[in-house]
Chains A and B, each alone.
Chain A
Amino acid sequence: MSFQGSQPVAIVATAQTQWRATWSQAQHIDLIAAAVQNALKGSGLDIRDVDFVIDSGSDVLDGRSISNCGFLGAMGAHHKEESRVEDDGLWAAQYGVAKIASGSAQVGLIIAYSKPSESDVSQYYRTMADPFIQRPVGLDEESACGLQAQRYLHAHQLTPADLAEVTVAAWRKASSNPTVELDQVPSVSQVLASPMVASPLTQAMMARPVDGAVVMVLANASVARRVTTAPVWVKGIGAAMDSSVFAMRDAQFDVCRQAAQRAYARAGLSAAQMDLAETSATSAAAELMTLEALGLAEPGKAIDLFRQGRDAGINASGGALPANPIMATGLVRLSEAAQALWGQRTSSAKNSRRAVVHASSGIAAQSHCVFVVEVERP
């Protein structure tokens, strides 16, 4: 097989199931099948047009080894090329983009799904820590996020009330997002009063795991132009991973900054040119740190975006704090960005053209992936 240069790739359709604390009436395959069918519906494409499937999922979260091989039928992957990226769905999207960019395929499905309600989320994270030292000492998502948050607040003279403000802003936005099922938006004092998980983080400041599935349909230029008048082009992608030794990690998400720089450089764009940002995070502090690492604010200053009411384009979907499907979070961010750029989200600013989309994974965001996308309107 020969390939020629790097061809443009567009997002042409997407769908998400609703995100619920517990999808008690559905298996993984039911959620996946619903999301795939909805993504294709109205797209002008059907399953026969799909050349490949890249999926994202976790054996540990699913409770099943090689879980993708039991879900292939629901994914529409029968007799197609399929591969699993066992990381957040945004990395699966990166793989899909590479396949189409190489010219070896025209249309691909990127599928991510999660049912954290079926397993023990803290064990999912705890088992990432090395079994000899960090795991017995007690490194897990909560303790790592707590240390990270304490360091961040201390370095920038910020307070838990600032974290509560970010949390409330996220939940408020999510309450207008039809795909996120939630009961009520907490108040700042409710966030501060919720049980302490790992100081300074209270339970409410941690991202809430949810069940659901999300699908992106990617296509090359020739297909994209036939099926949509507004392809969302993937302009740049970057990724980077930090150390597994938590104590050696950079305190400011430097690897996120590197990933973002690579994505912006590939896109020939800068952070200032982004109209929208959709970011992943497992805590309110991590959300602030991520916004800074993406170049959307100076270190320690992301809180000003919220204090000064300049956060409309930041996680307009609500972001990851109210709805964190763990293995799918970054792909949901991409789906939200695409829908916002298509004007399908009432919350989004009109005439938004460009979005930066972020995923993170591993304990306290060890690894990061950034996409820069741009819609082309007729």
Chain B
Amino acid sequence: MHLAPDTVPLDLPPLQSTIALPYRLTPGKATGTFLAELAARRIVGTRCLRCQRVEVPAQDVCSCGHAELEFVAVSTVGTLQSYTRMPDKTLGLIRLDGCDCDLLHRLHGDHEWAVGQRLQACWSDSPQAQALDLLGFEPAGQGAMAGLAPAAFEASREPLDSMATELKLHYQHAAGPYYGRLFDEMRTSGRIMGIRCSHCQSTLLPPRELCDVCYERTGTWADVADTGVLQAFSIIHLKFIGQRRDPPYVYAEVMLDGASTKIIHMLDGVDIEAAPARLKPGMRVKAVWKAERKGSLDDISHFELIDPI
């Protein structure tokens, strides 16, 4: 690992970042039917009209590769093939009677489990058209009907056609030595530092080990001014999730004096109505710093035109 001269790796805490996104997913016909029918305490599979395989949960395409299938209601009783205990749940592979493949699901309740054990389904009392409406499988009682063949199926309700879900992904990003020094200088001195390519003498911001164009090592650190040129901009009216500020605002790409690469920020103090006609690439801008700096691009509150329009 190469460290630029006069760079000391700083123990910056990692940047915490969360990507949170909502989704509305389409289950498709087979899954939509399977999920909906759980509320009727039915396990729905499919029989392939070509190869006769009965698969569960219901599939849109059989393992043989063909999509000519009919729905069947399968037995809710079967035999345990394999299981695994985890701290918070137990999962198993269950061969329901009459099916040609196993079903992956939970094993329910505090029981001893054994390969070969006979199991029966147990159900939620408040189904919500989701997979765990079938809570799982428990040891089969005396009265459990064994050997029931997959039966022709009459839909008891509409298949589920959409499912809301969310991804919430958390990250801790290490800054590394280059960003570490950049942010340390910003925080302690309100100073922006780029790094020079030893070959082409471009000043790169944010600083990094290698120049992208020359693929040569960067060498010395260089001061970058907090004034510069508005290289490009657009006027944002669009609203979207996770947006930092309510529109309208000006998205700005700025080439700071002394840097050879752009930074992205926002431009304030401009009349939004007048901006399309009056704001122009090439105008000079300056950074407006926050009173309290923490060591990030956010220490700059926004940019302003040096000569207001």
Binding site for B on A (CB under 8 A): 17, 22-27, 29-30, 33-34, 37, 47, 60, 63, 72-74, 76, 78, 115, 117-120, 123, 127, 130-134, 136-139, 142-143, 146-147, 149-151, 154, 195-201, 243, 245-248
Contacts and interface: CB of A to CB of B under 8 A. Distances in A.
Interface of B: 1-2, 9, 14, 17, 19, 23, 25, 27, 31, 34-35, 55, 57, 59, 63, 81-87, 89, 91-93, 101-106, 115, 130-132, 163, 165, 167, 169-180, 208-213, 215
8 contacts: A29-B209, A30-B176, A63-B173, A74-B208, A132-B27, A139-B91, A200-B84, A247-B102
Nearest to B32: A132
B271 to A, nearest CB: 34
Contact of B179 (A27, A118, A137, A149): A27
B89 A26 contact: no
Contacts of A196: 85-87
B245 to A, nearest CB: 21
A250 B132 CA distance: 25
A197 to B, nearest CB: 7
B209 A74 contact: yes
Contacts of A74: 208-210, 212
Give the secondary structure class of B's interface. mixed
Nearest to B9: A25
A23 B170 contact: no
Given A136-B132, A147-B83, A63 B179 contact: no
Contacts of B167: 127
Nearest to B55: A248
A113 B236 CA distance: 36
A23 B91 contact: no
A25 B84 contact: no
Nearest to B115: A154
A25 B208 contact: no
A131 B25 contact: yes
Contacts of B19: 63
B171 A118 contact: yes
A250 to B, nearest CB: 11
B35 A199 contact: no
